[in-house]
Amino acid sequence: MTSRVTGFIAGGMLLAMTPCPSFAQSFTAGMMQLPPVEFPGARVPGVPVTVWYPSKAPEKILRLGDAELKVALDAVPTPGRRRLILISHGSEGSDLQLSNLARLLARRGMVVVAPRHLGDSFDDKSAHGSSRQFGGRPYQASYALDVVLKHPRLSKLINPNQIGAVGYSAGGYTTLVLAGAKPDRQIWIRHCQQPVKHGAACPVGGWLTSLGLRFFDDWDRPPETRIKSVVLLAPFGAMFDKTSLAKVRVPVLLFQPEHDDMLPNAFHGEMIRDALPRKSDFRTVPGGHFIFVQPCSADLAVAAPKVCVDPPGVERAKIQQRTNGQIAEFFSRTLRDK
């Protein structure tokens, strides 16, 4: 699969929505795609960024390849200062990968920003397996926050004291780093030397031990203190332990699939849960690693069964209906002005 739809549904390693009773869904989901955001002084392409926000304009079907989104494209936002949620997609995914969650949050009155990570997206894999993949992701996510907080239109919609983040798979790694974690390459190397099933966490070809990854050895990026709470979905955790997670002090909601063969629970979700200095809200859901990406069309299910097809009895749409509502409730509870 080479179209944008690949990133829309996939993102490996790394919905029909019904309102929860406690929410009145009084907004439609506005959506805009910003011009590619250029990094000052960087000799790299711009970062595509998609933003969702509450509106009153009617939603219409937006067709993207074989997929459809119901949004109010470029609609007038509903005024007000609102929570801002950053989304970091999985490896080789896209800014649209968790768009069903983003639309739900917008309908619940939140602004959502999702960058497409340079070199680690469906249309650009040039950074995969390099320091630019793991070092670049947190910088790009943080810079996306800068962009929307300075945007002449969007900045008026945001309460800068109410910012949260969601990370899926490799985006979970990204979100933890933003929250204060310090990745350690040696932890990853030791993990990959164990005689266990590593899933997709351990690369082949020896680049993990041979590559000079400066950002592991001399990590000098301060935590993203603007982020006040985070949600992790099947997060990549092979570079963390209690020491490297010691500075993650914000509230954490962590969802882990029961049968994740890409990032086995014991070395990722459960490890993060047990190593965090502050007790997280840890929940398991049926299904495998891709349970958090939106349901596929029939054609995509044939083209990418590993991503699209769930085990018998696992209803992805219903699971996402529940988890996305719980995520909205978590941010409403943890992102409050004091």
Domains, the chain, ranges and CATH?
76-289+316-334 (3.40.50.1820)
CA–centroid distance for 22 within its chain: 25
C-beta of residue 92 within 8 angstroms of C-beta of residue 122: yes
Report the chain's C-alpha Rg in angstroms.
Answer: 19
CA distance 336 to 338: 6
| Confidence grade of residue 95 (pLDDT, cut at 50, 70, 90) | very high
Q: Which residue matches tokens 């929505």?
A: 17
Angle at 270 between CA 266 and CA 275, to 5 degrees: 115
Tokens encoding 214: 């400066």
Angle at 233 between CA 31 and CA 116, to 5 degrees: 40
Tokens encoding 230: 């985070």
Task: Quote the pLDDT of residue 45.
Answer: 67
**Which one-letter amino acid corresponds to residue 236?**
F
Question: What are the start-end ranges of the E strands in 38-174?
Answer: 47-55, 60-64, 67-73, 82-88, 111-115, 158-168
Q: What is the dihedral sign for C-alpha 301, 286, 331, 140?
A: negative
Selection from 30-44, 63-77, 213-227 with the highest mean pLDDT: 63-77
Angle at 41 between CA 91 and CA 183, to 5 degrees: 40
Task: Quote the pLDDT of residue 322.
Answer: 96
CA distance 213 to 217: 7
**Which one-letter amino acid corresponds to residue 198?**
H
Best CA proximity match to 225, nearest among 202, 245, 250, 188: 250
- pLDDT tens by residue, 208-240: 555 444 444 444 556 789 999 999 999 999 999
Q: What share of the chain is helix, strand, coil (3-state, %, to 5)?
A: 30, 20, 45
Q: Which residue matches tokens 């968790």?
A: 98
Selection from 119-133, 138-152, 226-240 with the highest mean pLDDT: 226-240
What mean pLDDT is predicted for residues 126-140? 82
Q: Strand 67-73 vs strand 158-168: parallel, antiparallel, or unpaired?
A: unpaired
Phi, psi of 134 (to 5 degrees): -85, -35
Name the least confident of 1-10, 90-99, 112-121, 321-330.
1-10
**Which one-letter amino acid corresponds to residue 98?**
L
The region that residue 220 occupies, defined by phi over 0 for left and psi between -120 and 50 for alpha, beta otherwise, is alpha
Give the mean pLDDT of the chain: 85
Tokens encoding 156: 């008026």
For the chain, percent of residues with pLDDT exceeding 70: 83
C-beta of residue 317 within 8 angstroms of C-beta of residue 15: yes
DSSP string, 292-309: GSPPPPHHHHHH-HHHHP
How many other β-carbons are positioned within 10 Å of the β-carbon of residue 296? 23
What mean pLDDT is predicted for residues 133-161? 92
| Confidence grade of residue 81 (pLDDT, cut at 50, 70, 90) | very high
CA distance 86 to 167: 8
